[in-house]
Amino acid sequence: MKTVRNIFSVVSNKYFITLLAFVIWMIFFDDNNFINQHRLNNALQKVEQEREFYISEIKRDRQTAFDLESNQNNLERFAREEYLMKRENEDVYIIIEETKDEREKRLEELN
């Protein structure tokens, strides 16, 4: 019986009730409640991951640009591979390897 009275006296304490009301308000009703904070934290982590990805891509692209600007052979190789450019009086043949599935599909279309 004594423990029930102790619990009742704690629960009926005005400071406990005020603290409980404050916690409930902060969890569910406030504009900065815990649910919104969790969503915002997840969005922030996603944006930080994207930022790291783009920073690494920028570093890679800067290195590629430096390599292309510093060496004429690299620039020519890049132009030939990426943009299929060629010199005058030169023929370029593009060979595309087919997979087994693509070959079978093409043969079925012919028959």
* Residue scoring higher pLDDT (10 or 77): 77
- pLDDT reported for residue 42: 97
In a domain, 49, yes or no: yes
26 and 44: one domain?
no
Do 16 and 53 fall into the same domain? Answer: no
Q: Are residues 9 and 51 in the same domain?
A: no
Q: Count of domains in the chain?
A: 2
Is 101 within a domain?
no
23 φ/ψ angles, rounded to the nearest 5 degrees: -65, -45
For 62-93, write each residue's pLDDT tens digit: 998 998 889 888 888 888 888 888 888 888 78
Asked whether the predicted pLDDT for residue 94 surpasses 80, the reply is no
How confident is the prediction for the chain on average, in pLDDT? 86
Most confident of 16-25, 55-64, 76-85: 55-64
Instruction: Say if 25 falls within a structural domain.
Output: yes
Q: What is the pTM of this model?
A: 0.53
pLDDT of residue 1: 65
Helix and strand tally (H, E) in the chain?
A: 5, 0
pLDDT surpassing 70 at residue 17: yes
Distance, CA of 88 to CA of 99 (rounded, Å) = 33
Residue 58 lies in a domain: yes
Rounded CA separation 11/16 (Å) = 6
Which residues 6+ apart lie within 8 Å of 67 measured at CB?
74
Contact (Cβ atoms closer than 8 angstroms) between residue 6 and residue 12: no
Expressed as residue numbers, the domain containing 72 is 37-89
Inside any domain, residue 99: no
Burial of 80 (0-12, 13-18, 19+ CB in 10 A): middle
